[in-house]
Structure 1
Amino acid sequence: MSLFPRAVRCLLFAVVILGCSLASPAHAQSRRAQAAIEALNQRMVLAETRYREALVKIGNADPSGVDESNAALEDMEDVLVECGRIRGCGTGDLLASFKRLLKAQADAAAGIAEDDGDDTLVDEGASLPTGEVPQSATAASLLAAEDRRFLELVQMNPAVQAGIRRWLTDMRVSLITSHENYQYMQRMMSPAFKRRGLPEALLFGILAKESNGRVHSRSRAGAAGPLQFMPATGQRLGLGPDGRGFDTRYDPRASADAAAVYLGERYAELGNNIELWLAAYNGGEGRARRVHREFGGRSFWDPDVYNEFPPETRDYVPMVIAAAWLYLHPKEYGLSFPRVDARPAAIELQRPASIYELTICLGNGGTRDGYMRVLRNLNPQYEAESWIPAGTRLNATVRMASLYERWCTRGARAELARELVNSDPDTAIVRVGNVETVTLPDGRVVRQPDTPTAAASPAAVPAQPQTHRVARGDTLVAIAQRYQCDTKVLAAANGLRAPRYLVRQGQRLKLEGCR
């Protein structure tokens, strides 16, 4: 948990009390009041000492430090409350204590001595550091950062600078797309990081590098979801099949909760080395834990430590930090992240529909790419081609809900969207009988199909087949469209797992859930 916001609340509380309780002359105080005030001053001194000791523990990655610092702050709050009840109790000394504590906390987070330099947080519009590259930020610095702020000493070594260059050149489109996707999911994902004092920029950096904000991303190794959890790690953190055929690794809210827990575990194990957290996230905590132990907690950028990790991890760490930095400082690099209208709303389906159909009837709605990715990200439990029953409430935005009412419930565009989604490419092939030569009464010779037999008449067409043999190039989606099946029902009947629903050539499928 971040200590800085709590301390700020205490300081504001003290300011309120200061405005409500003005000091009275010393001679007007009774002896009892003077003794009570002196006792409060002693309690404040003791609480301040406890707080400073807790900061030392936090700096040494001792988990008990957070609880002790919170307890010390609670003691200070109690002192302030009691001071406000005593006539003549001035808060000047108490405010001075808070000022010292706030500075001590910021200095400890930045890893500097109390009298060394300025501990001010960098503002979004602040100019970039020039000249010598700053030193690495500690994890404590990042834990103390509020929302969209990094401390001044963010790591900006050549590897991170190279990452920034890549994001701003050949990967610029990916970065902007990641930001647009994240805006729609921000309300679902950022609270988990904020609750644990983790910077939102770190969440964005991981999201951009792992999936570009596409919740259905899946790697060759089996990592899945917007934050790419492997099955075993996801299961340990509460992610995986939910019993209804949906893998919650694809859920943005659940995956953000799991990521915040995971990074909290790494802080407890690896201390202040944020780069090692990211190395563990990418390459496994076992390796990161071993390297941290064998090399005495040295920095990720130490040559001995750095070379213990595979090339993929050595690339991953600076790229995440670079994306996080650009999230906070786009203007300095001439980067403009388009703003989207992500105000949440729900769409209640008035008739069955698929995400494909909704994407067509909603149109672009003033956006560049339309709403298919948004619908999929906000409703990851539904496949794009699956029919969703009427009455279902889908997560959407205010704009999308308005477009749905206008274009998707009735009218020409709604019917056109349904026609396009239901179109079957196989019906484009016209099958006829054998061609024969016929001489007409006037002597002309023409070629025409054989006269259809009774077996070929509509009344004699065989019933819908009960099975389908998978041909080369077949996919479950194509088969479901051909036979007008519900994809999920068809998949469940044949033991196929979401989201890929892999079928093999020659496999015979039971056609359940089909019209």
Structure 2
Amino acid sequence: MPVSLFSVRPLPLLVAATLLTVMPAAHALSARDKAKVDAIEARMTAAEKRYSDALVLVTNADPKGTPEADAALEDMEDVLTACIAQKGCQVSGLLTTYKRLLKKQSDGTGEDVEEDVGPLEADPDHIAPLVANVPEAARAAALLNDHRHAFDDMVEYNPAIQAGIRRWLTDMRPSLLTSYENYMNVRAVMWPEWEKNALPEALLFGIMAKESNGRVHASSRVGAAGLMQFMPATGRRFGLGPDGTGFDTRFDPRSAAEASAAYMNERMRGLNKNIEYALAAYNGGEGRAARIYREAGGQSFWTDSAYNQFPGETKDYVPMVIAAAWIFLHPQQYGVEFPKINAQPATIRLAKSTTIYELTICLGSTGTRDGYMRALRNLNPRYEADGWIPAGTTINATTRIAGLYNRYCVSGPRADLARTLITADINAAIKRPSAAAFTGSVAVGDVQALQAAQAAPPVATPAPRPAPAPARRAARSYTVVRGDTLGSIANRFQCAVPALARANGLRAPAYALKPGQSLKMEGCRR
């Protein structure tokens, strides 16, 4: 999120610099003129403080921040004008303050400012201070300023890393940008856990980008799960796993961040703070990494005798994580413009029952490339995308999502359309003619015989016997077709999702189904 959301003031720096040529020369000042100069300088100091305070409001999404910052810059322009007209007032000093604040504002808006800059380094957009509840956010942001990345000195920048950067910037660029967008939506709950453990944020992003692309519900074929892809046994060591409600906390961003920070610190302590070996342990097993590190006598991960003992997956994993982290810190050097994400945390109290699918439809895609389903799922990992969430439930969101919800999802045409689409039943489109509607032809017999039969007296028929009691119907089954989810099947046959999942041995939160799979429809009313 940009530090500043307002536009650059209209006084160009070139014009301001031109004013210096008409600045009155400094002469011996009378007490009266000196008092006026002092008053002008005090006004500039007050305006600068007003501007800095406004930046804090903007960072915290306070609507008062933008007009307050604009007013502060107007005060500075008035001060500059007064200084030009005042004998003995040094415009150059005041102009330096004004230019510095304009530069700070431009860093947040992307506007060009005529100011000398050094080599391109970190993009400030993704290192703005976090929300108020993030510990020591200002200090953490300062650590990521240009030429001050501690991470750069913790890893070896070599051709393997460069090859990884090349992959992230070519065929994997969409994955990199998606990972960044997903990370920003959960940053407020993940980064504080790493910051408390004195671990680089870039490393957190690199691991998450490589492991899951920032998808909370990612699962691997070998059983790893969540943003940080914890295996069940490793997860249990760090307090992750089923919590007794059917939810696996490996899918919870805050819990996964806390556990991964603890794991990385544990590995770093045992490997002399070597990031490459710690990443190799994260991917390929801590026992192997520790053994190779000991046998190599603490030599670099890139030493052939050490490097060649790791499996191919780990040889790929380590440089790819570091490469993603490197781009995270140096996006401008590589022409990367990360998406601007409004991820200020917020909550929504649901006005009516809904599903994440329904919310995705009614929210639309304003301000984002792919809509808000992934953000909602990442922020609310306990809920299935097609599972109904009761009215009155409080869910996690961002300020942008909350605003769109109130505008489009509570009532109105888009809300109605979303409900229609989400409750549409494919089976309702299939036409099944009833027996009463059937019309066909019969063979024509002897007309005289038919007339005789019609004239004959009616034959007495015995009283009908009571119908036998219907046999108890065995539990039905249903064959899964492509596009089915457990939630859609439960809605169609009026079943409870948990009961249906238990009857068929399906585990939350994925409830994975395959086309052709037969389900026991126990407890269904239709």
Q: Is the 8 A contact 1:467 1:508 kept in 2?
A: no
Q: Which amino acid aligns with 2:168?
A: W
Q: Is the 8 A contact 2:351 2:410 kept in 1?
A: yes
> 1:19-418 to 2 correspondence within 5 Å?
124=122, 146=143, 149-150=149-150, 152-153=152-153, 154-418=155-419
CA distances 1:65-108 after superposition (whole Å, capped 9, x unpaired) = xxxxxxxxxxxxxxxxxxxxxxxxxxxxxxxxxxxxxxxxxxxx
Distance 1:125 1:280 in 2: 30
In structure 2, stretches of 5+ residues that fail to align are 1-119, 125-139, 443-469
Aligned to 1:470: 478
- 1:347 aligned counterpart, secondary structure: strand
Task: Using the TM superposition, give the Cα deviation of residue 469 of structure 1 relative to its aligned residue in structure 2, in angstroms.
Answer: 1.1
Task: Using the TM superposition, give the Cα deviation of residue 476 of structure 1 relative to its aligned residue in structure 2, in angstroms.
Answer: 2.5
Q: Is the 8 A contact 2:179 2:214 kept in 1?
A: yes
Task: Using the TM superposition, give the Cα deviation of residue 408 of structure 1 relative to its aligned residue in structure 2, in angstroms.
Answer: 1.2
Distance 1:322 1:502 in 2: 33
- 1:165 aligned counterpart, secondary structure: helix
CA distances 1:8-43 after superposition (whole Å, capped 9, x unpaired) = xxxxxxxxxxxxxxxxxxxxxxxxxxxxxxxxxxxx
Evaluate the alpha carbon distance shift between residue 306 and residue 196 of structure 1 in structure 2; reply closer, same or farther with a 3 A threshold.
Answer: same
Percent of residue pairs bearing the same amino acid type: 57
Q: Is the 8 A contact 1:486 1:514 kept in 2?
A: no
Q: Is the 8 A contact 1:147 1:194 kept in 2?
A: no
CA distances 1:205-233 after superposition (whole Å, capped 9, x unpaired) = 00110111010111111111011011110
Task: Using the TM superposition, give the Cα deviation of residue 170 of structure 1 relative to its aligned residue in structure 2, in angstroms.
Answer: 0.3
Evaluate the alpha carbon distance shift between residue 400 and residue 253 of structure 1 in structure 2; reply closer, same or farther with a 3 A threshold.
Answer: same
Distance 1:248 1:212 in 2: 18
In structure 1, stretches of 5+ residues that fail to align are 1-121, 127-142, 440-461
TM-score (norm 2): 0.63
- 1:315 aligned counterpart, secondary structure: helix
Q: Which amino acid aligns with 1:512?
A: G
Q: Is the 8 A contact 2:348 2:402 kept in 1?
A: yes
- 2:416 aligned counterpart, secondary structure: helix
Q: Which amino acid aligns with 2:425?
A: D
Task: Using the TM superposition, give the Cα deviation of residue 201 of structure 1 relative to its aligned residue in structure 2, in angstroms.
Answer: 0.2
Q: Which amino acid aligns with 2:349?
A: E
Distance 1:265 1:312 in 2: 22
Evaluate the alpha carbon distance shift between residue 410 and residue 361 of structure 1 in structure 2; reply closer, same or farther with a 3 A threshold.
Answer: same
Q: Which amino acid aligns with 2:159?
A: P
Q: Which amino acid aligns with 1:146?
A: L
Q: Is the 8 A contact 2:478 2:521 kept in 1?
A: no
TM-score (norm 1): 0.65
Q: Is the 8 A contact 1:279 1:313 kept in 2?
A: yes
Distance 1:373 1:486 in 2: 25
Q: Which amino acid aligns with 2:158?
A: N
Aligned to 2:510: 500
Greater Rg over alpha carbons, structure: 2
Q: Is the 8 A contact 2:365 2:371 kept in 1?
A: yes
> 1:448-463 to 2 correspondence within 5 Å?
none
Distance 1:466 1:418 in 2: 34
Task: Using the TM superposition, give the Cα deviation of residue 485 of structure 1 relative to its aligned residue in structure 2, in angstroms.
Answer: 3.6
Task: Using the TM superposition, give the Cα deviation of residue 479 of structure 1 relative to its aligned residue in structure 2, in angstroms.
Answer: 1.9
Task: Using the TM superposition, give the Cα deviation of residue 392 of structure 1 relative to its aligned residue in structure 2, in angstroms.
Answer: 0.7
Aligned to 1:481: 491
Structure 1 residue runs of 4 or more that deviate by more than 3 Å after TM superposition: 145-148, 150-154, 433-439, 465-468, 472-475, 492-495, 502-508, 510-515
Distance 1:381 1:125 in 2: 34
Q: Is the 8 A contact 2:215 2:226 kept in 1?
A: yes
Distance 2:123 2:507 in 1: 48
Task: Using the TM superposition, give the Cα deviation of residue 508 of structure 1 relative to its aligned residue in structure 2, in angstroms.
Answer: 4.6
Q: Is the 8 A contact 2:376 2:396 kept in 1?
A: yes
Distance 1:378 1:215 in 2: 9
Q: Is the 8 A contact 1:470 1:503 kept in 2?
A: no
Distance 2:513 2:378 in 1: 25
Evaluate the alpha carbon distance shift between residue 234 and residue 362 of structure 1 in structure 2; reply closer, same or farther with a 3 A threshold.
Answer: same
Distance 1:488 1:224 in 2: 21
Distance 2:311 2:253 in 1: 28
Aligned to 2:520: 509
Distance 1:506 1:183 in 2: 38
2:439 aligned to 425, 436, 439, which one? 436
Q: Is the 8 A contact 2:477 2:521 kept in 1?
A: no
Distance 2:273 2:420 in 1: 58
Distance 2:229 2:307 in 1: 23
Aligned to 2:459: none
- 2:479 aligned counterpart, secondary structure: coil
Q: Which amino acid aligns with 1:369?
A: D
Aligned to 2:500: 490
Task: Using the TM superposition, give the Cα deviation of residue 492 of structure 1 relative to its aligned residue in structure 2, in angstroms.
Answer: 3.8
Evaluate the alpha carbon distance shift between residue 468 and residue 500 of structure 1 in structure 2; reply closer, same or farther with a 3 A threshold.
Answer: farther
- 1:436 aligned counterpart, secondary structure: coil
Distance 1:296 1:273 in 2: 13
Distance 1:235 1:314 in 2: 27
- 1:437 aligned counterpart, secondary structure: coil
Q: Which amino acid aligns with 1:198?
A: L
Aligned to 1:454: none
Task: Using the TM superposition, give the Cα deviation of residue 438 of structure 1 relative to its aligned residue in structure 2, in angstroms.
Answer: 5.9
Task: Using the TM superposition, give the Cα deviation of residue 297 of structure 1 relative to its aligned residue in structure 2, in angstroms.
Answer: 1.8
Distance 1:433 1:151 in 2: 72
- 1:186 aligned counterpart, secondary structure: helix
Distance 2:517 2:338 in 1: 48
Evaluate the alpha carbon distance shift between residue 436 and residue 363 of structure 1 in structure 2; reply closer, same or farther with a 3 A threshold.
Answer: same
Alignment size in residue pairs: 355
Q: Which amino acid aligns with 2:278?
A: W
Distance 2:192 2:228 in 1: 15
Distance 2:439 2:263 in 1: 74
Evaluate the alpha carbon distance shift between residue 355 and residue 488 of structure 1 in structure 2; reply closer, same or farther with a 3 A threshold.
Answer: farther
Q: Which amino acid aligns with 1:274?
A: I
Q: Which amino acid aligns with 1:124?
A: A
Distance 1:147 1:509 in 2: 55
What is the RMSD computed on CA atoms of the aligned residues?
2.7
CA distances 1:365-419 after superposition (whole Å, capped 9, x unpaired) = 2322111110000000000000001111110011111111111111222121111
Q: Which amino acid aligns with 1:150?
A: A
Q: Is the 8 A contact 2:350 2:392 kept in 1?
A: yes
Q: Is the 8 A contact 1:147 1:199 kept in 2?
A: no
Task: Using the TM superposition, give the Cα deviation of residue 298 of structure 1 relative to its aligned residue in structure 2, in angstroms.
Answer: 1.8
